[in-house]
Amino acid sequence: MVVVGAGMAGVQTAVALREQGFRGRVTVIGAEPHQPYDRPPLSKAVLLGKAEGSAFDVDFESLGVELRLGCEVHGLRPDARELDTEAGSVPYDVLVLATGAEPITLPGTEGVPGVHLLRTLDDAERLRPVLTRQHDIVVVGAGWIGAEFATAAREAGCAVTVVEAADHPLAGALPTEVSAPMAAWYADSGAELRTRARVERVEPGAVVLADGTRLAAGAVVVGIGARPATGWLAGSGIALGAHGEILADDRLRTSLADVYAVGDCASFPSARYGERLLVHHWDNALQGPRTVAANILGETPAVYDPVPYFWSEQFGRFVQYAGHHAAADRMVWRGDPAGPSWTVCWLREERLVALLAVGRPRDLAQGRRLIEAGRHMDSEALSEPARPLKDATAD
């Protein structure tokens, strides 16, 4: 078994193969030179120097998993069942692709000194002294990473301006009604959020916006999204989607025989939501590998159709989301979005399909189970924040 990518999904695949009884050879190949590590702390404790690193607590040696680190895979030749790496070719019987995602760069800023991304441990280590020096920092993009970085930079005492092309934060993930109240969180923390602001260019020490505004910037942090790291699969014959994601089936198999894909690099069809999902969150990189291992080893097919889950820690708030919603789903609020804690639920034909909970982990835990069970909700009861969510069902 060969796994490409030594992030959460790759490492968990190796662990799951062993947990599920596989005794043969398992090799995990990763491009980064570091011991495999967890990414969420990079925009939180690691960035602030509160934790040295975030290496996974996995004993690869006692698991009998061979790690080949600092080794980039360049190509896949399915006819020969071989991978091409910097260190020569690697044969496989079964292959798992877990190459994750890479951050989207701001055109024209690649390699410009003082412009940073935040995806890897090396990125976080480069950013730590930037925070210590308390520069003026401009963050491009008010998404999850932008918000978490701004939180850390404010905590470190930096002056922070966040520029966002859309008219509200998290525009790609949440509707305006939900994310508009979050804009106030930036101001409360002392960060300036400029929406409808497009970056024209980045110059040494400044970001110039399309309307001519010049923002002083000792450092620029770009957080405008990530795309699947699948460029190396070009010409392999593997089916990719419009965003470069590997098109896996509901058992996380790719279009090539004995090749699976899991984590940030792959999308899968969800019968639960009636569409293909490309999930860039930690829980998906934890759950998917168990399905992959079960399908590689087991005789009964294991279908992957999770209720997606993620969390974010921003501006002193714990934000959690479970499920998946579409624009047509009906929203029901629990609590006042101007207050410190509230939840918004999405209903489709009166079934709970998703919820976002701010500072209400109990709502999240109960909601996640209700979504999994496909329960119908009584929307009036649901809108009473004092009533436990599990007591607001209609069936």
Ligand X SMILES: Cc1cc2nc3c(=O)[nH]c(=O)nc-3n(C[C@H](O)[C@H](O)[C@H](O)COP(=O)(O)OP(=O)(O)OC[C@H]3O[C@@H](n4cnc5c(N)ncnc54)[C@H](O)[C@@H]3O)c2cc1C
Which long-range contacts (C-beta less than 8 Å, at least 24 apart) are formed by 241-246?
241/267, 241/276, 241/278, 243/278, 245/278, 246/97
Which listed range, 173-181, 235-243, 280-288, 297-305, lies at the site for ligand X (CB under 6 A)?
Answer: 280-288
Contact between 289 and ligand X (CB under 6 A)? no
Give the C-alpha separation, 292 to 68, whole Å: 21
| Binders of ligand X in range 11-50 (CB under 6 A) | 29-32, 39-40, 42-43
Contact between 145 and ligand X (CB under 6 A)? yes
Q: What are phi and psi of 293, to 5 degrees?
A: -60, -40
Sign of the CA dihedral running 229, 234, 240, 242: positive
Which listed range, 3-11, 175-183, 202-210, 267-275, lies at the site for ligand X (CB under 6 A)?
Answer: 3-11
Give the C-alpha separation, 144 to 11, whole Å: 24
**Residue from 251, 272, 281, 369 that binds ligand X (CB under 6 A)?**
281
Which runs of consecutive H residues, i.e. helices, occur in 118-201?
121-132, 144-155, 176-189
Contact between 282 and ligand X (CB under 6 A)? yes
| Binders of ligand X in range 208-267 (CB under 6 A) | 229, 232, 263-264
Contact between 280 and ligand X (CB under 6 A)? yes
Q: What are phi and psi of 132, to 5 degrees?
A: -65, -35
Sheet holding 219-222, edge to edge: 115-116, 219-222, 136-140, 159-163, 192-194
**Contact mark string toward ligand X, 44..83, x via CB under 6 A:** ----------------------------xx----------
Q: Strand, coil or helix: what is 40?
A: helix
Which listed range, 98-106, 184-192, 340-348, 386-394, lies at the site for ligand X (CB under 6 A)?
Answer: 98-106
Contact between 5 and ligand X (CB under 6 A)? yes
Binding site for ligand X (CB under 6 A): 4-10, 29-32, 39-40, 42-43, 72-73, 98-101, 118-119, 145, 229, 232, 263-264, 280-283, 285, 310-312
